[in-house]
């Protein structure tokens, strides 16, 4: 049983560190703000959740200590990180950051003019 | 074996933080830098969890929740500043 939990801890650690590396590659390689935000907000959240789950299992196995703050931290990051990604992407669009020049379609393009006309 | 895996993932998270710092320095627009700083805060949480596993100490686990809350508040404040020009508006004009 102990060995199985240890194997799970190692698995979650490897998955989490791989996902944080994916975050860094995405932020370096992708072309504009929106795609970079897409990479950062998803994979960083899942990676740190895996690492925190591994930490929780580690302390539960080694010391028999049920740490509720780690569970709370996992839930908090799961709730707040996508909200922060959404807010910063919206602020980028409304402050006029251009899309990638090869992107094909922008459904929000005439929105401000349309709202001003129909006020 | 588990100790080696912890060291390897500490190395991987550190390399990822270096990549994010590259984006903070280079990033052509301000929202780029804010996205990269938010991801840096999240990676710092992972670093703290790994260091507390290396040191066998439960004392740092409050810091995880604290950094999560502070990174969220900072990102929300900065996006509101970028969108409206003020973080806390004053609209008492009567």
Rg over alpha carbons for chain A, rounded to the nearest Å, is 20
Chain B residue whose CA is closest to A33: B32
Report yes or no: B70 at the A interface, CB cutoff 8 Å: no
Report yes or no: B17 at the A interface, CB cutoff 8 Å: yes
Q: In terms of C-beta density within 10 A (0-12 exposed, 13-18 middle, 19 or more buried), how is residue A110 classed?
A: exposed
Tokens for A99, please give them: 């899309």
Query: Measured between CA atoms, how close is A100 to chain B, in angstroms?
Result: 13
Q: How confident is the model at residue B5 (pLDDT cuts 50, 70, 90)?
A: very high
Report yes or no: A13 at the B interface, CB cutoff 8 Å: yes
8 Å CB contact of B64 and A52: yes
- Distance from C-alpha of A26 to C-alpha of A34, rounded to nearest angstrom: 11
Reported as a single tens digit per residue, the pLDDT across A15-67 is 999 999 999 999 999 999 999 999 999 999 999 999 999 999 999 998 888 98
| pLDDT for B35 | 92
- Distance from C-alpha of A9 to C-alpha of A62, rounded to nearest angstrom: 11
Reported as a single tens digit per residue, the pLDDT across B9-57 is 999 999 999 999 999 999 788 999 999 999 999 999 999 999 999 999 8
Nearest beta carbon to residue B39 from set A40, A80, A95: A40
- Distance from C-alpha of B18 to C-alpha of B26, rounded to nearest angstrom: 12
Residue bearing tokens 């194997």:
A7
Task: Give CA angle at B24 (B62, B47), nearest 5°.
Answer: 25
């Amino acid at each position: 049983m102990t060995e199985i939990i240890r194997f799970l801890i190692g698995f979650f650690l490897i998955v989490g560190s791989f996902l944080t590396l994916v975050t860094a590659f995405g932020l370096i390689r992708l072309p504009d703000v929106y795609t970079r935000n897409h990479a950062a907000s998803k994979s960083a959240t899942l990676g740190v959740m895996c690492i925190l789950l591994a930490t929780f299992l580690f302390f539960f196995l080694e010391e028999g200590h049920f740490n509720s703050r780690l569970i709370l931290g996992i839930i908090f990051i799961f709730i707040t990180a996508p909200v922060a990604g959404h807010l910063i992407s919206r602020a980028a669009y409304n402050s006029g950051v251009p899309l990638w020049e090869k992107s094909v379609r922008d459904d929000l393009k005439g929105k401000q003019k349309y709202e001003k006309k129909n006020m | 074996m588990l100790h080696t895996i912890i060291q390897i993932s500490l190395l991987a998270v550190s390399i990822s933080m270096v990549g994010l710092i590259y984006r903070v320095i280079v990033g052509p627009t301000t929202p780029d830098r804010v996205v990269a700083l938010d991801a840096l805060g999240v990676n710092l949480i992972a670093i703290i969890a790994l260091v507390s596993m290396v040191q066998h100490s439960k004392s740092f686990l409050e810091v995880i929740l604290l950094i999560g809350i502070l990174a969220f508040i900072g990102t929300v404040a900065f996006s509101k500043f970028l969108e409206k020009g003020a973080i806390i508006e004053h609209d008492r004009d009567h």
